[in-house]
């Protein structure tokens, strides 16, 4: 386990658990009470921590967009809501995913009564195969479409059948130890999204993440306002709600409006349509298929997750498409360009996904040609902007016209804007409020919004991952910390077998056995061409002096690789080039020497 290296200044009043000096919660309590006494602020009864308090612990998702996971504990019982992953940023080379640190849950796995998943997006289900086995495979409870996505994911990791995946309906009542759970449907960019009303011995909690109020949803199933209002009338001690768009005023546009734009766009395009979207955005995919059918286009689906999710959604009736509208790519030749639409993944510029491969010109079946129009129907997740921008430039260089969010309203968010967030507070009338799901500044903005709704500042709690909101039977709340609960991140690398600690060990093993081989490429930043011969540094692999021929051949191979990538006249993508050089030269060295040194390509831009 390693901590993400982002800077986080210490919070006032609360000591963070971490590698530096750790103050126990008891010490913090004593200090705070001294301050309170000295300043005359100690007016309420003394709050004491006990097993008979409800403890709410965000394990992830309150300092970032992604890796959503929350634990609730009362007495001997723990329930867990969501198990998501986050995607790494540029500062984490070699890392594929980030998941929450679950050491505390692992130590208390016998007390876990169940895992509830709110909906099928990766930032809510992605970590299931990594975490569920470590927690002793507790039962999972979720709606039908989400259950199918979770099962598919477990199947990919050969873990299917270990945990019981229970399908619930939105009207079911679940009793898990001290917790009673009821559900209400919300709108989001994927069907079967639910909020939860959790009845606990100290009061009721509403947990609602990834939602918006869409009065004209594509599937016709609107948010259950009546239920939310009823829960509100029963009394809500704490509301936990989605902060993703807390800085955006007004209301989030209805998904149906996007359908109209897609329809208009299809009407105008003369050549092929290439439509990139999240493979989980079933409503958007429905609107794409509707437009394709209306304008008489056959559809080619590319990308494994897109194919899988469409199959699942079709089999469960969440997607309705014209029979025989999907064709194989080989059949495309039989149709003119204006009768073809291609549906692909990769709207976030992800290296391995369909659209990035199309944009690099190395997709197996889809080659861009003049007259194509590429529609990117998503807005960038923070951190992906550069990759997306380079991908769009490559598409235009190859001859495609490009439509994306900035040129046309081709995407709407699945997350509530300010007016919707306020309405949720008005309906639930919570005593306490805890903004969740977002980076710290979004969470603070959501707290500010709560103040305008009359919730006192002292009743609003913006926590960090691993902090605890404790609520007692006297309906008091306070933030505490428990040194046993760690709040770090676990990094998953390409092998999907663990955290970065193991990766470091593996690297050391490679270097110990076969040494290290560094390739330094000095490249022209404008055209990606080599400025001079690549430099080679070898340590523990071969003695350079006695292997002039091999070194010369490697330099030649590197030059060939850089040139072949440069020939495509594409926007330079150093990360991609480094990967290619590492893989190809690694293979080349193995063929020549039967050894696998650690190959480290270094790019110097001039
Ligand atoms: Zn979502």
Domain boundaries, the chain: 48-250+414-492, 255-403, 515-605
**Cα 210 to ligand 1 centre (Å):** 5
**DSSP labels for 385-414?**
HHHHHHHHHHHHHTT-EEE-TTTS-----S
**Cα 184 to ligand 1 centre (Å):** 16
**Cα 29 to ligand 1 centre (Å):** 37
**Cα 64 to ligand 1 centre (Å):** 14
Q: Report how far residue 355's alpha carbon sits from residue 395's, in angstroms, rounded to the nearest whole number.
A: 9
**Cα 231 to ligand 1 centre (Å):** 23
**Cα 173 to ligand 1 centre (Å):** 23
How would you write 310-357 as a 3-class SS string? HHHHHHCCCCCCCCCCECCHHHHHHCCHHHEEEEECCCCCCCCCHHHH
Residue 156: closest CA among 192, 130, 191: 130
Which pLDDT score is estimated for 11? Answer: 46
**Cα 197 to ligand 1 centre (Å):** 18
48-250+414-492 and 255-403: identical CATH topology: no
Neighbours of ion ligand 1 (CB under 5 A): 121, 210
**Cα 374 to ligand 1 centre (Å):** 24
Residue 287: closest CA among 234, 240, 341, 339: 341
**Cα 150 to ligand 1 centre (Å):** 14
**Cα 182 to ligand 1 centre (Å):** 20
Q: How many other β-carbons are positioned within 10 Å of the β-carbon of residue 460?
A: 19
**Cα 95 to ligand 1 centre (Å):** 22
**Cα 481 to ligand 1 centre (Å):** 28
Which pLDDT score is estimated for 26? Answer: 41
* pTM value > 0.85: no
**Distance between the two ends of the chain, CA-based, in angstroms?**
36
**Cα 479 to ligand 1 centre (Å):** 27
**Cα 437 to ligand 1 centre (Å):** 10
Non-local CB neighbours of 212 within 8 Å, separated by 6+ positions = 186, 187, 188, 252, 413, 414, 415, 416, 417, 420
Q: How many other β-carbons are positioned within 10 Å of the β-carbon of residue 294?
A: 12
**Cα 15 to ligand 1 centre (Å):** 32
Segments of 421-480 assigned E as strands: 430-436, 468-471, 477-480
303 in Cβ contact with 344 (< 8 Å): yes
**DSSP labels for 170-186?**
TT-EEEETTEEEEEEE-
**Cα 279 to ligand 1 centre (Å):** 12
What are the CA-CA distances from residue 228 to residues 219, 423, 550 (Å)?
Answer: 20, 11, 70
**Cα 370 to ligand 1 centre (Å):** 35
Tokens of 76: 């001997």
Q: Report how far residue 249's alpha carbon sits from residue 54's, in angstroms, rounded to the nearest whole number.
A: 34
**Cα 414 to ligand 1 centre (Å):** 7
Which pLDDT score is estimated for 45? Answer: 43
**Cα 310 to ligand 1 centre (Å):** 17
Q: Report how far residue 478's alpha carbon sits from residue 47's, in angstroms, rounded to the nearest whole number.
A: 8
**Cα 125 to ligand 1 centre (Å):** 10
CATH number of this structure's domain 255-403, picked from the four choices 3.40.640.10, 3.10.180.10, 3.30.565.10, 3.40.50.10710: 3.40.50.10710
CA 123 to chain centre: 4
**Cα 122 to ligand 1 centre (Å):** 8
Span 48-250+414-492 CATH architecture = 4-Layer Sandwich (3.60)
Residue 453 DSSP symbol? T
Surface-to-core class of residue 532, CB atoms within 10 Å of its CB (0-12 exposed, 13-18 middle, 19+ buried): exposed
**Cα 561 to ligand 1 centre (Å):** 40
Instruction: Tell me the mean pLDDT per 10 residues along the chain, length 606.
Output: 42 36 39 45 48 93 90 97 83 71 94 97 93 96 97 91 95 97 95 97 97 92 96 98 95 89 93 93 93 97 93 95 94 95 90 89 92 90 82 94 77 90 98 96 96 97 94 94 81 55 60 81 82 86 79 90 70 78 90 86 83
**Cα 585 to ligand 1 centre (Å):** 40
**Cα 123 to ligand 1 centre (Å):** 7
**Cα 373 to ligand 1 centre (Å):** 28
Fold of 515-605: Ubiquitin-like (UB roll) (3.10.20)
**Cα 385 to ligand 1 centre (Å):** 19
**Cα 101 to ligand 1 centre (Å):** 21
**Cα 209 to ligand 1 centre (Å):** 8
**Cα 90 to ligand 1 centre (Å):** 23
């Amino acid at each position: 386990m390693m901590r993400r290296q982002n800077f986080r200044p210490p919070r006032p009043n609360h000591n963070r658990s971490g590698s530096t000096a750790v103050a126990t919660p008891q010490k913090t309590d004593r200090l705070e009470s001294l301050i309170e006494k000295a300043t005359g602020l100690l007016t309420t009864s003394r709050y004491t921590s006990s097993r008979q308090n409800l403890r709410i612990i965000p394990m992830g998702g309150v300092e970032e967009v992604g890796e959503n996971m929350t634990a609730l504990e009362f007495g001997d019982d723990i329930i867990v809501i969501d198990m998501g992953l986050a995607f790494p940023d540029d500062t984490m080379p070699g890392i594929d995913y980030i998941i929450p640190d679950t050491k505390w849950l692992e130590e208390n796995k016998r007390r876990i009564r169940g895992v509830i998943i709110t909906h099928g997006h990766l930032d809510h289900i992605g970590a299931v195969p990594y975490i569920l086995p470590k927690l002793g495979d507790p039962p999972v409870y979720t709606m039908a479409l989400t259950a199918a996505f979770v099962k598919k994911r477990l199947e990919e990791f050969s873990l299917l059948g270990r945990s019981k995946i229970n399908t619930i309906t939105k009207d079911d009542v679940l009793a898990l130890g001290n917790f009673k759970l009821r559900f209400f449907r919300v709108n989001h960019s994927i069907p079967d999204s639910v909020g939860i009303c959790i009845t606990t011995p100290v009061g009721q909690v509403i947990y609602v993440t990834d939602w918006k109020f869409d009065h004209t949803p594509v599937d016709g199933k609107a948010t259950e306002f009546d239920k939310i209002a009823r829960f509100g009338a029963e009394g809500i001690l704490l509301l936990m709600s989605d902060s993703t768009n807390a800085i955006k005023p007004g209301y989030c546009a209805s998904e149906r409006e996007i359908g109209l734009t897609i329809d208009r766009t299809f009407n105008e395009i003369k050549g092929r349509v290439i439509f990139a979207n999240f493979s989980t955005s079933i409503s958007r995919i429905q609107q794409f298929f509707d437009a394709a059918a209306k304008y008489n286009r056959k559809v080619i689906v590319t990308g494994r997750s897109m194919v899988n999710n469409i199959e699942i959604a079709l089999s469960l009736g969440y997607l309705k498409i014209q029979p025989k509208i999907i064709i194989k790519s080989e059949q495309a030749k039989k149709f003119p360009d204006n009768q073809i639409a291609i549906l692909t993944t990769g709207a976030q510029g992800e290296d391995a996904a369909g659209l990035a491969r199309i944009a690099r010109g190395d997709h197996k079946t889809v080659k861009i040609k003049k007259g194509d129009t590429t529609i990117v129907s998503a807005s960038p997740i923070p951190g992906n902007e550069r990759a997306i921008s380079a991908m769009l430039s490559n598409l235009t260089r190859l001859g495609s016209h490009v439509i994306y969010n900035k040129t046309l309203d081709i995407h709407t968010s699945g997350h509530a804007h300010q007016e919707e967030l306020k309405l949720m507070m008005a309906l639930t009338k919570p005593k306490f409020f805890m903004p969740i799901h977002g980076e710290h500044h979004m969470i603070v903005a959501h707290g500010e919004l709560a103040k305008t709704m009359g919730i006192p500042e002292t009743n609003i709690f913006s926590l960090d991952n691993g902090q605890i909101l404790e609520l007692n039977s006297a309906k008091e709340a306070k933030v505490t910390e428990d040194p046993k609960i760690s709040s770090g991140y676990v990094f998953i690398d390409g092998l999907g077998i663990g955290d970065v600690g193991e990766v470091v060990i593996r690297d050391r093993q490679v270097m110990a056995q076969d040494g290290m081989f560094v390739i330094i490429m000095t490249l022209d930043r404008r055209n990606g061409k080599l400025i001079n011969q690549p430099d080679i540094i070898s340590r523990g692999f071969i003695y350079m002096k006695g292997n002039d021929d091999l070194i010369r051949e490697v330099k030649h191979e590197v030059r060939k690789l850089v040139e072949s990538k440069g020939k495509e006249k594409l926007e330079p993508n150093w990360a991609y080039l480094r990967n290619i050089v590492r893989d190809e030269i690694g293979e080349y060295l193995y063929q020549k020497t039967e050894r696998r040194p650690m190959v480290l390509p270094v790019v110097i831009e001039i």
